[in-house]
Amino acid sequence: DTGVSQDPRHKITKRGQNVTFRCDPISEHNRLYWYRQTLGQGPEFLTYFQNEAQLEKSRLLSDRFSAERPKGSFSTLEIQRTEQGDSAMYLCASSPPNLKGYGYTFGSGTRLTVV
């Protein structure tokens, strides 16, 4: 297993367009997380899946954001009607079933620039 993969690495979009990012976690990890990191800040939690169930959503996740994990494997994060404030690095992470404080494995992120 090569770790957590995110696609694309970079995305430039015009304001108002929709974008979708994909995350492929480590295969045996049933937990999947999305975080957002703006320039000069630490990552902020967006949402969390256990298998295909979305169990937690941050208030940062406005109604323009939607995340899915249809078969409990890969996940997608869609942003509709993008705004300049959405420009950030979107990080995906996965962890094994019995977390109990184990470190996550993070992907390299998708850097979104809204122009």
Partner 1 sequence: AQKVTQAQTEISVVEKEDVTLDCVYETRDTTYYLFWYKQPPSGELVFLIRRNSFDEQNEISGRYSWNFQKSTSSFNFTITASQVVDSAVYFCALTNNNAGNMLTFGGGTRLMVKP
- Min dist. Cβ of residue 99 to partner 1 (A): 5
With a CB cutoff of 8 Å and minimum separation 6, the contacts of 13 are 19, 82, 112, 113, 114, 115
Q: Which stretch binds partner 1 (CB under 8 A): 16-24, 64-72, 74-82, 99-107?
A: 99-107
Closest C-alpha among 52, 1, 5 to residue 31: 52
Residues 6-65 interacting with partner 1 (rule: CB under 8 A): 31, 33, 35, 40-45, 48, 55-56
- Min dist. Cβ of residue 16 to partner 1 (A): 26
Q: Which stretch binds partner 1 (CB under 8 A): 12-20, 22-30, 78-86, 91-99?
A: 91-99
Q: What is the largest CA-CA distance in the chain?
A: 41
